Structure 1
Amino acid sequence: MSTLQLSLAIIGGLLLAGIVAYNTWTSRRNAPKRAVPQEAERGTAGSGAAPDRLAEPALRQDPGFDGGGAVELTPGELQALDRGTDPLSEHAVDPTEALQMPVPSFSVERRPGLDPLIDVIAPLQPEHVVSGDAALSALPPTRRAGSKPFAIEGLNEATQQWETPAPGQRYQSFQAGVQLANRMGALNEIEFSEFVVKVQAFADAINAAPDFPDMLQEVARARELDQFASDHDAQLAFMLRARQAAWSPGYIQQNAGRLGFVAGAMPGRLVLPATSAAGLPPLLTLGFDTAAALADDPDQSAIRDITL
């Protein structure tokens, strides 16, 4: 073999090795990000590492100055600069002590979930005071009448406020309601009849007498409300796109779960439930491709954008 042939063979081998290495690096870089195993996540948390390292690196950008003339100060000088020349600086709180101070608690105003403007409400008057445990055991298994949200509230004997039945409480009266309209349309006669059946079963269980409104009048009111809502409906949505590597469904669920999101009723949908009261719609909805969520191997499903 001549020197030329040997040189060409070496160059060809190096070129082939470079192509293989480049393709391997590109495949690993563009592979969908997967969820971190729970064991590794617990180990990272136990070692005191910052949880931000598990997040998308492209989404984090620390602030900084471009100039290189930074001056290092001692903790005492930083504290002096923080206090400034304020005459009341002797009453300033040390930052380390401020982190240990208790957070003030804010009382959340409790409002009933049912509203006569958007709900069909049927009062229920029991023969005697009903305990919360008895009311909970008599509640219907589902919270929907057709496609409309359905709820039952009780008037707390102690607080005199309408609330979802809770164990250990006593209620002197109840009210059941179903939403007149939502994005699935207006309340129809079939859904109203299903509402009546569920409320009647609950009333029989607690020995209460329900008072149902007129069906035709409520259905007409539902159509009017649906028409008004259709003319004034608005939704605010954000599109989040991956900057570099795509995301897998598990990666999205793991990072969204840290913020309080839970799986929704449909594949590819996560919801942030309302914490102020039970039965309220979710605060936020996060959605991605349904086909990716139902894939045989979700870790190989590439998701490049999600809707919030």
Structure 2
Amino acid sequence: MSTLQIGLAIIGGLVLAGVVAYNAWVTSKSAPRTARERHGDAAEERAGDETLPYTPADLAEHEIQRIDPVLGDMPGAPSPPDPAEVAAAAAAVSLNPLMTQPPEKRPGLDALIDVIAPLLLEHEVSGDALLAALPGTRRVGSKPFAVEGQSETTGEWESPRLGQRYRALQAGVQLANRSGPLNDIEFSEFVVKAQAFADAVGASPDFPDMRAEVARARELDTFASGHDAQLGFTLRARRAAWSPGYVAQHAAKLGFVAGALPGRMVLSGSHSGQAPILSLVFDPQAAMAEDPEQTALREIALSLEVTHVPRSEQPFVRMRQAAVALAEAMDGVVTDDAGQPLSVEALDQIGADLESLYDALDSRDLSAGSAQARRLFS
């Protein structure tokens, strides 16, 4: 073999090795970031990049819209898990240990948001008899139906319980919820159901005027429609995609824990039985994939059910801080649902709008996070 042929062979080998190395580099850069990776300071990673995570573009509008809720998670607040454990949990999302606690006590009937009909008794009745006479379904149309008894021992109104005796009864149906106001047909169904129960336990019902209650339901629904709010931010990857474990690792550092559904994490409230302050959601199919660490997420969502979280928890402040922290840590950008980056000015305006909404709810004794508000906005 001549010297020329040997030289050409060497050059060809070097070119081939360079192509292979380049392809490997491109593949590694495009692979989703995983929880096992360790990155330097986010600011250093972005050095020399002229594109900032937030632009001065304001939101076109900040209208608070009424949106049906997602079924919430029971709260719990364990300490942030180890990153390796989080990565493993991404393949099979585990339940928060505190989710096994007994459910919170059901809020009682309230004249503010319920039609209430007294059921007059001639003598005390046992909780066993009341439970046996309850209707098979606890709904009237799209509204919750309930029966309560006044305990002989405590004098408090409560749902009937075995072994207890009650000296007074009342039946109720909710005036409005996210399905709309109580209508004539639903009120009539309430009367039929309550009357049947009263007959079974020997009580005499005293129903309020239908026209007045239906009108009250419409007025309450009008107020609720104008003051229902669910806020959502979208975090989008600027360069490399994220794996579910990578997202979970960074979210756990901010106090998020696994929710009951795949692809869902929650930031728990400070009190037992309270709705989650924030929810973080990503593609559930990615969370349930055979190898989650090889699935790519280009975006995740942060949401706040405004009317379900007490104002004292400062939910919007914490939502804003979480969004910014996650964006900086994972090299992402915070946007609205339309993909428009949210500026500082836009976020400030949303915060001011929420303060006005909280004031309006307080003025109606329907403060955000209260039992009445959570029932009405459900």
Pairwise CA RMSD of aligned residues? Answer: 4.6
1:113 aligns with 2:108: yes
| TM-score of the pair, normalised by structure 1 | 0.55
Aligned counterpart in structure 1 of residue 184 of structure 2, from 161, 171, 189: 189
* Aligned counterparts of 1:161 and 1:137: Cα–Cα separation in 2: 21
Asked whether the 8 Å contact 2:230–2:303 carries over to 1, the reply is no
Asked whether the 8 Å contact 1:262–1:270 carries over to 2, the reply is no
1:214 aligns with 2:209: yes
Question: For each residue in 1:199-240, what CA deviation from the matched residue of structure 2 results, as whole angstroms up to 9, or x when unmatched?
Answer: 233323333222222222211221222234444x14363536
> What corresponds to 1:15 in structure 2?
19
Change (3 A) 1:283 1:12: closer
Letter matched to residue 148 of structure 1 = K
State the Cα distance separating 1:271 from its structure 2 match. Answer: 11
- Tell me, what secondary structure is at the counterpart of 1:113? coil
State the Cα distance separating 1:112 from its structure 2 match. Answer: 6.4
* Unaligned residue ranges in structure 1 (runs of 5+): 32-48, 57-109
> What corresponds to 1:245 in structure 2?
242
Bigger relative CO (Cα 8 Å, ≥ 6 apart): 2
* Aligned counterparts of 1:301 and 1:162: Cα–Cα separation in 2: 52
1:305 aligns with 2:301: yes
Letter matched to residue 140 of structure 1 = P
> What corresponds to 1:77 in structure 2?
none
State the Cα distance separating 1:121 from its structure 2 match. Answer: 0.4
> What corresponds to 1:2 in structure 2?
6
Change (3 A) 1:217 1:295: farther
> What corresponds to 1:51 in structure 2?
81
Map 1:194-209 → 2, pairs under 5 A: 194-209=189-204
State the Cα distance separating 1:158 from its structure 2 match. Answer: 0.3
Asked whether the 8 Å contact 2:147–2:171 carries over to 1, the reply is yes
- Tell me, what secondary structure is at the counterpart of 2:146? strand
Change (3 A) 1:305 1:236: closer
* Aligned counterparts of 2:272 and 2:123: Cα–Cα separation in 1: 29
Question: For each residue in 1:259-280, what CA deviation from the matched residue of structure 2 results, as whole angstroms up to 9, or x when unmatched?
Answer: 59556xxx9898989x989xxx
Map 1:255-266 → 2, pairs under 5 A: 262=260
> What corresponds to 2:127 in structure 1?
132
Letter matched to residue 303 of structure 2 = T
The percent identity for this pair of structures is: 45
* Unaligned residue ranges in structure 2 (runs of 5+): 36-78, 88-104, 305-378
Aligned residues: 227
- Tell me, what secondary structure is at the counterpart of 2:231? coil
State the Cα distance separating 1:175 from its structure 2 match. Answer: 1.2
Select the structure of larger CA radius of gyration: 1
Change (3 A) 1:220 1:152: same
* Aligned counterparts of 1:225 and 1:294: Cα–Cα separation in 2: 39
Change (3 A) 1:15 1:236: same
Asked whether the 8 Å contact 2:32–2:296 carries over to 1, the reply is no
> What corresponds to 2:52 in structure 1?
none
Asked whether the 8 Å contact 2:124–2:165 carries over to 1, the reply is yes
Change (3 A) 1:295 1:259: closer
State the Cα distance separating 1:123 from its structure 2 match. Answer: 1.2
* Aligned counterparts of 2:277 and 2:139: Cα–Cα separation in 1: 20
* Aligned counterparts of 1:301 and 1:205: Cα–Cα separation in 2: 59
